[in-house]
Amino acid sequence: MAHQLVIVLDFGGQYNQLIARRVRECGVYCEVKSYQTPIEEIKKLNPKGIIFTGGPNSVYEETSPHITKEIFELNIPILGICYGAQVIAYTLGGTVSPCDTSEYGKTDTHYDNSSILFGGINLPETASSWMSHTNYVSKLPDGFRRTAYTTNCPFAAFENAEKKFYAVQFHPEVNHTFAGQGMIDSFVKNVCGCVGDWTMAGYAKTAIEEIRAKVGDGKVLLALSGGVDSSVAAALLAKAVGNQLTCIFVDHGFMRKNEGDEVEQAFKNSGMNFIRVNAKKQFMAKLQGVSDPETKRKIIGEEFIRVFEQESKKIGKVDYLVQGTIYPDVIESGLGDAAVIKSHHNVGGLPDYVDFKEIIEPLRMLFKDEVRKLGTELGLSPVLVWRQPFPGPGLAIRIIGDITDEKLAILQDADFIFRQEIAEAGLDSDINQYFAVLTNMRSVGVMGDCRTYDYTVALRAVTTSDFMTADFAKIPYDVLAIVANRIVNEVKNVNRIVYDVTTKPPATIEWE
């Protein structure tokens, strides 16, 4: 089934994924593309609307990202956000200037509710919006009118309703903007005319049909980690091709404490063909002396593929490999000339040569919350659907620096205690992700009458609705005190515990 499409053109904005996610919350399918996407490709996509993201540059500088004027001649509605609003103004003959007073954070904004973007969403004449800019539109292009302003920004929103061009200097995609989701909904529904035909039930039906048609009578091998993504992919493939599917769980040795056994228990009697491969020695040998996180990810990614190839030969010719790649993996691994945040082992870590006819990634265009909805739609166990997120490289990227058996054991024990105490305190359903990190920092301590010089363990816990932005969890001090006391007393070679109080952005949720 062909869905109506809205595309997000990324100018290097930190919220590119979040904008797309907000559009999908409206029931409208959305994809993120580079601002350099050729006009001919955009025409072929036939989007119902286009959204320009924010970005860190100054649009009036020659080296900054720009867009061809042709895009405004496609008769497609356009919404510009922050830098994207400045792109619209600059490209169509307006003026963008440095701010006398920059605006950051919540800002009182005065709205003109006669705009289709703001009318009908119970928006008061003055409400908070989230600003983040050092430049502003100082003169509108011909044919545009102002629809919002602040004390320091004369054109906080503007539009050419006849041509269906809309621009906002603030960020409607973040929760801090009052009724921001309603503004995005107004754009995709009232301006673009989208009906909201994007559902997980529809996605499941279409995906199953497409997988059956692609695979035919071929054999399929699935890389099962036991995490949410690979578990949902397994459930989807099982419905599509039944016993043509073999699930291989490669235990690279970097799982959380007891987790390898738990994964095996969950899937061994599930009716799927399930094979566990204990490959810790193989992975450790490849990673010996490696400290760089990107190198770790790529080594683990390649080794994953090699193990799958070895196992597939044991079970006969396998035609397809399935991976649980999801959309944030794809975007964070690099989009056009956007910065690579981190390569993911199931995106950036693939070797050049893979001994399969094709790699199938049935979740590649889904966000994490959509994957969970799909899992529920497929009848997957809630224990698996709501499992804590865990990166493919596992604890290998939660050990800062090189990896040794000693460090791995330290982290497994410290992480186990942290997760155990969070559950004991009844906080496990309130915190979206929580884990321990073994830093490569050692410091002086005292235990008994003896001087110690041991490792520092960092605790990380975040609350988030979409894993694209996150706040650190406000864990009660008494709970943190229990965790810290247990780790330093029960885990050898640790004498200091720190708690990460950084949001995303500027940090990522993982440390590596």
Beta bridge partners of 464: none
C-beta of residue 245 within 8 angstroms of C-beta of residue 363: no
Tell me: do 157 and 217 sit in the same domain. no
- Domain membership of residue 256 (yes or no) is yes
Which has more confidence, 269 or 381? Answer: 381
Kindly report the number of other CB atoms within 10 A of residue 474's CB atom: 12
- Please report the pLDDT score of residue 351 as a whole number: 45
Residues for the chain: how many in total?
512
Tell me: do 179 and 212 sit in the same domain. no
Nearest Cα residue to 474 out of 412, 511, 425, 414:
425
Tell me: do 418 and 381 sit in the same domain. no
- Domain membership of residue 109 (yes or no) is yes
- The sheet with strand 157-160 has its strands ordered as 29-34, 5-10, 49-52, 78-81, 165-168, 157-160, 145-149, 95-111, 126-139
- Please report the pLDDT score of residue 383 as a whole number: 76
Q: Give the type of residue at 183.
A: M
Tell me: do 374 and 231 sit in the same domain. yes
- Domain membership of residue 11 (yes or no) is yes
Cis peptide before 476, with omega less than 30 degrees from 0?
A: no
- Domain membership of residue 285 (yes or no) is yes
What is the rounded average pLDDT of the residues 316-329? 85
Q: Does the pLDDT value for residue 339 go beyond 70?
A: no
d(CA 361, CA 358): 10
- Please report the pLDDT score of residue 257 as a whole number: 92
C-beta of residue 44 within 8 angstroms of C-beta of residue 32: no
Looking at 138, 170, 191, the residue that finishes a domain is 191
Question: The domain spanning residue 481 has which CATH number?
Answer: 3.30.300.10
What is the rounded average pLDDT of the residues 331-358? 52
C-beta of residue 221 within 8 angstroms of C-beta of residue 305: no
- Please report the pLDDT score of residue 336 as a whole number: 46
| Enzyme catalytic residues | 82, 171, 173
Domain that includes residue 375, residue range: 200-385
Looking at 122, 156, 191, the residue that finishes a domain is 191
Q: Does the pLDDT value for residue 413 go beyond 90?
A: yes
**Residue holding tokens 């884990």?**
435
- In which element (H, E) is residue 300 found? helix 293-314
**Residue holding tokens 């009848």?**
379
Looking at 385, 407, 430, the residue that finishes a domain is 385
What is the rounded average pLDDT of the residues 466-474? 85
What is the rounded average pLDDT of the residues 73-79? 97
Residue 499 burial by Cβ neighbours in a 10 Å radius (0-12, 13-18, 19+): middle
- Please report the pLDDT score of residue 14 as a whole number: 79
Question: The domain spanning residue 321 has which CATH number?
Answer: 3.40.50.620
Q: Does the pLDDT value for residue 343 go beyond 60?
A: no
Tell me: do 141 and 250 sit in the same domain. no
DSSP assigned state of 4 = P
Tell me: do 290 and 166 sit in the same domain. no
- Please report the pLDDT score of residue 355 as a whole number: 63
Nearest Cα residue to 405 out of 485, 302, 493, 489:
493
Tell me: do 256 and 374 sit in the same domain. yes
Which has more confidence, 499 or 393? Answer: 499
Q: CA torsion 306→412→384→21, rounded to 10°?
A: -80
The b/e string for 242-279 (b: 16+ C-beta within 10 A; e otherwise) is: eebbbbbbbbbbbbbbebbeebbebbeebebbbbbeeb
Residue 453 burial by Cβ neighbours in a 10 Å radius (0-12, 13-18, 19+): exposed
Q: Where are the beta strands (DSSP E) in 264-417?
A: 273-278, 320-322, 358-360
3-state helix, strand, coil in the chain (%, to 5): 35, 25, 40
In tens, the pLDDT along 57-73 reads 999 999 999 999 999 99
Tell me: do 368 and 326 sit in the same domain. yes
Q: Does the pLDDT value for residue 178 go beyond 50?
A: yes
Lowest mean pLDDT among 78-87, 156-165, 303-312, 320-329: 303-312
Residue 44 burial by Cβ neighbours in a 10 Å radius (0-12, 13-18, 19+): exposed
- Domain membership of residue 506 (yes or no) is no
- In which element (H, E) is residue 246 found? strand 245-251
Tell me: do 311 and 429 sit in the same domain. no
272 contact partners, CB below 8 Å, separation of at least 6: 234, 238, 245, 246, 247
Structure tokens at 254: 């970097």
**103 confidence band (pLDDT: 50, 70, 90):** confident
In tens, the pLDDT along 190-229 reads 999 999 999 999 999 999 999 999 999 999 988 887 788 9
Structure tokens at 142: 């011909």
- Domain membership of residue 391 (yes or no) is no
- In which element (H, E) is residue 331 found? helix 327-332
What is the rounded average pLDDT of the residues 225-253? 89
- Please report the pLDDT score of residue 354 as a whole number: 52
Q: Give the type of residue at 292.
A: D
Grouping H, G, I as helix, E, B as strand and the rest as coil, residue 84 is helix
Global pTM value: 0.70
Report CA 481 to chain centroid distance, whole Å. Answer: 31
**Residue holding tokens 């330290």?**
410
Tell me: do 270 and 375 sit in the same domain. yes
- Domain membership of residue 508 (yes or no) is no
- Domain membership of residue 149 (yes or no) is yes
Number of Cα atoms under 13 Å in the Cβ half of residue 223:
26
Lowest mean pLDDT among 30-34, 309-313, 330-334: 330-334
Cis peptide before 506, with omega less than 30 degrees from 0?
A: yes
Nearest Cα residue to 342 out of 292, 288, 269, 270:
292
Tell me: do 178 and 271 sit in the same domain. no
**268 confidence band (pLDDT: 50, 70, 90):** confident
Helices (H) and strands (E) in the chain, counts: 14, 18
- Please report the pLDDT score of residue 183 as a whole number: 97
Structure tokens at 493: 């070679």
- Please report the pLDDT score of residue 347 as a whole number: 40
What is the rounded average pLDDT of the residues 396-423? 96
Q: Does the pLDDT value for residue 185 go beyond 60?
A: yes
**15 confidence band (pLDDT: 50, 70, 90):** confident
Tell me: do 407 and 460 sit in the same domain. yes
In tens, the pLDDT along 124-176 reads 889 999 998 899 999 999 999 999 999 999 999 999 999 999 999 999 998 88
What rounded mean pLDDT belongs to the chain?
A: 89
- The sheet with strand 320-322 has its strands ordered as 273-278, 245-251, 220-223, 320-322, 358-360
- Please report the pLDDT score of residue 342 as a whole number: 42
Nearest Cα residue to 482 out of 436, 422, 431, 409:
422
C-alpha distances (whole Å) from 371 to each of 255, 349, 495 are 22, 22, 39
Report CA 86 to chain centroid distance, whole Å. Answer: 26
d(CA 298, CA 392): 11
Work out how many domains the chain is built from and give that number.
Answer: 3
**54 confidence band (pLDDT: 50, 70, 90):** very high
